[in-house]
A and B are shown apart, each in its own frame.
Chain A
């Protein structure tokens, strides 16, 4: 089977004023179906730029990027939008949920921009419900982001990324705003989706311990791949969670809990 992602000699340079920034200086790598790739590196190493190009939010200065065997590096803006909609699911550090919009409506959002599916309202609801159930939030579909804890919000965001059944899920520092336990929970969801459904996940993080939940580690330095290796001792989020003491009962899952206010990370 052809790789999902195939990147050859990827170069990206920005011109900021009079300074030319060489963010990517010739990166090559492939991602196979069902891989869980953790991309790490210090800030300025080019991992964010890579993510933007892999996510079809940006085009490379030179080099090729084949997504599902299709060269997307020279596509028009509108075509890229369609690719993002159908083949890529985004999960962001700041959740980026629409505020004052229910979890269900948030999850449905990508379907509204899908020009080929043209689903009926009831079908959209059904798919959104399925997606929410997959992340364990089926009960909370009518809740607003400010009624959900940070971990729950991030799970809604994952459900949103899943709904168009994309080829890859791109997660950009998905645990950056979360505490340790919630981080493990969220990583557990990624692992489950990766193992049970064979979904390809690309995780951008600068935390090594988070990267170890993946199957493969890619480390960037100065716009180039420095390390590309299998992760020997992969962490298992489910086991770790079981080993942890149970969450304090009055903490997250209560609706309108004042604690959840700390995690407000919606899009206003």
Chain B
């Protein structure tokens, strides 16, 4: 019998019991819909992260001070005092390096008028806006002159500016107190949003790194250096930077680095890996519902075979071969799962669109997810349809015809 004929017989048989067919399909619809939605959510999250990484700059290289070691006692990372402003200056000569900014971190209570706020104070160099492609909204960034003189000038992040001076107020020229020392506000940065680690990049104050060193911390070393490379190919530049720093720090071969060089690419890949794991996990959970849907199909097909024993007996009596009956029931299962899969894809699209619209969750459906869901649906049909179909095909026509 031709496959077309088998398909017609199967569709007719399914048509004879519409309600049951639809209910069986529902398992498939929900399963496939859930898988599509979950994958869409995961991919959406991944796209958001990539966006954030891009906003941080793809050609960034961060150099942090390593762990401090004295007489075999190791302190935590970032405690070493070996990184200096001279190191930063030296890195400007490394081929492929575009901008360099030395960085010193501090925290402190900030007061303006009757408002106060605890935030981080980042001592940086003049090239930071260029490195991060992050221009000021009001006023200007500080100048090399300010760095040289360790001027008490501050550029505020939007969160700090909004908290201390109110929304959409230009605080340029105002005086704020950081750790009880007066600083002149010379600018406010534009909003940058969440960083790649979820931190709020706008909750910060920028001052010249020399100011933090001398006026706030009283130290000679720096905590980190931020470098941008000319091209997004950061790996070779990072390697060259490592070599220069080792020479400058006079580290003999075999001695571990007393600094850490990280490219944005590495940071991004860690994050992407995390979301990919999450997506896989979500899809796996959704896959369970697909499995349940498949078992539902098997269940109904088994009931159907029992219920239609006499029909099977009749078909066998009038000349259907075992393989014809097997194909009929298999095709019925496949039609249910494929049609359910198709509707499930529709449901997945609908749900994703709804999540994006009403909950503002970013979603994105990769084209291969549709093919995969469809393939999975078909495979489920074959896998779970085979056992009932074989049972039907194996019936003895005499027994089947007598079945009440």
Contact = CB atoms under 8 A, between A and B. Distances in A.
Interface of A: 52, 55, 57-58, 77-78, 81-82, 84-86, 90, 92, 94, 96, 98-101, 105, 109-110, 112-115, 160, 164, 267-268
Nearest to A164: B319
A160 B398 contact: no
B311 A267 contact: yes
B223 to A, nearest CB: 80
Given A92-B401, A96-B401, A112-B5, A160 B311 contact: no
Interface stretch (B117-125, B320-328, B337-345): B320-328
Contacts of B398: 52, 57-58
Contact of B307 (A84, A164, A268): A268
A90 B317 contact: yes
A65 B16 CA distance: 39
A181 B320 CA distance: 34
The binding surface of chain B is classed by DSSP as: helix
B319 A81 contact: yes
Interface in B291-342: 307-308, 310-311, 313-324
19 contacts: A52-B398, A55-B317, A57-B316, A81-B320, A84-B318, A96-B310, A96-B314, A98-B311, A99-B16, A100-B16, A112-B9, A113-B320, A113-B321, A115-B1, A160-B318, A164-B319, A267-B311, A267-B314, A268-B307
B357 interface: no
Interface string B124-144: 000000000000000000000
Nearest to B403: A267
B12 interface: yes
A90 B311 CA distance: 14
A110 B319 contact: yes
Given A57-B398, A112-B5, A85 B319 contact: yes
Contact of A109 (B307, B318, B322): B318
Contacts of B323: 78
A92 B314 CA distance: 10
B321 to A, nearest CB: 4
Contacts of B318: 84-85, 90, 109-110, 113, 160
Given A78-B323, A84-B317, A85-B318, 14 more contacts: A57-B316, A57-B397, A84-B318, A94-B310, A96-B313, A98-B16, A98-B311, A109-B315, A113-B1, A113-B318, A267-B310, A267-B311, A268-B310, A268-B311
Given A52-B398, A112-B1, A267-B308, A81 B316 contact: yes
B379 to A, nearest CB: 28
B364 to A, nearest CB: 45
**Which of B313, B314, B316, B398 gathers most chain A CB within 10 Å?**
B314
A109 B12 CA distance: 12
A268 B1 CA distance: 23
Contacts of A114: 319
B122 to A, nearest CB: 77
Contacts of A267: 308, 310-311, 314
A99 B15 CA distance: 12
A94 B310 CA distance: 10
Nearest to B2: A118
B324 A113 contact: yes
Contacts of A268: 307-308, 310-311
Contacts of A115: 1
Chain A to chain B: the 3 pairs with minimum beta-carbon distance, closest first: A85-B319, A113-B319, A100-B16
A79 to B, nearest CB: 9
Contacts of A113: 1, 315, 318-321, 324
Contacts of A57: 316-317, 397-398
Nearest to A161: B318
**Which of B5, B317, B398, B401 gathers most chain A CB within 10 Å?**
B317
Nearest to A89: B318
B308 A81 contact: no
A114 B323 CA distance: 14
Nearest to B316: A81
Nearest to A92: B401
A112 B12 CA distance: 13
B23 to A, nearest CB: 17
A5 B343 CA distance: 55
**Which of B307, B313, B323, B401 gathers most chain A CB within 10 Å?**
B401
Contacts of A98: 16, 311, 314
Nearest to A163: B318
A115 B324 CA distance: 11
B306 to A, nearest CB: 11
B310 to A, nearest CB: 4
B211 to A, nearest CB: 87
Interface in B59-75: none
A78 B311 contact: no
Contacts of B316: 57, 81
A101 B307 CA distance: 16
Contacts of A78: 321-323
A77 B324 contact: no
